[in-house]
Amino acid sequence: MHPSLNRVGDSLRQWFRRWRRAEPVHNAEALRRFLQTRASHIAQMTLYGYLRTRAGTRFPELFENDAFVVSMNIAKWHVWLACVSDLAVHAGTLLRRSGAGSAADIGALMSGLVDEILEETGTPAEAGAEFAGHAQRVQARLALWDWNSALDDEAVFVESPTALVYWAPIVDDLKALDEEIVRNSIRFRWHEVRRDLSHNLDPAAVMNSTAQ
């Protein structure tokens, strides 16, 4: 097996083990960790799953192509940014609905947590020239978001399906055929993450932790 494919498999297994551990989300640090790990899990599972489905038994051979590996790494980082964006909006919406904090306080918290994630990540060398601009758009979305919005849980997950379709290193004609299925696949993956956050989030404790 190609070394790059081994690294993909190892990475997916690590994220899966971390993702499956139910952890209480009772302070800002735990919420930041939730955003970071779940966004990574969804980004990798959906992107590699799509590529594997399209390539079939030839999937390992793709990693012999240097141009493909470059494109896949760029796609991985952009889908991850979109996943961070969607999940942060969703988490902030849950906090606001709980009544644990004002729209202004929740907006400041979510923007701050995403800023920390992006600062820690930096600009990965393999992420491509457009990564920094995309990161700024994620920050702008949070800064401008109406935390009193009545959008339902499903409606805020708009950036990640679009990013998966746009950035996946698959020819455009095939992506046009696959688009509805691919968008639904990532929406489906979000369901369990949303349930996990709903069950483990303590809104009052999270907001109180920011006041300390």
What is the pLDDT at residue 1? 38
Which residue matches tokens 């999270």?
206
Helix, strand, coil abundance in the chain, percent, nearest 5: 80, 0, 15
Considering only residues 119 and 7, tell me which one the structure prediction assigns the higher pLDDT. Answer: 119
Contact yes or no for 4/70 (Cβ under 8 A): no
Total domain count, the chain? 1
Which residue matches tokens 């907006």?
107
This prediction's pTM:
0.88
Token digits of residue 16 = 């899966």
Range of the domain at 50: 3-210
Please determine, for residue 147, whether its predicted confidence score (pLDDT) is greater than 60: yes
pLDDT class for 153, splitting at 50, 70, 90?
Answer: confident
Could you read off the pLDDT of 86-145 as tens digits, one per residue? Answer: 999 999 999 999 999 999 999 999 999 999 999 999 999 999 999 999 999 999 999 999
Distance CA 81, CA 33 (A): 15
φ/ψ region of 168 (left if φ > 0, alpha if ψ in -120 to 50, else beta) reads beta
What is the pLDDT at residue 61? 81
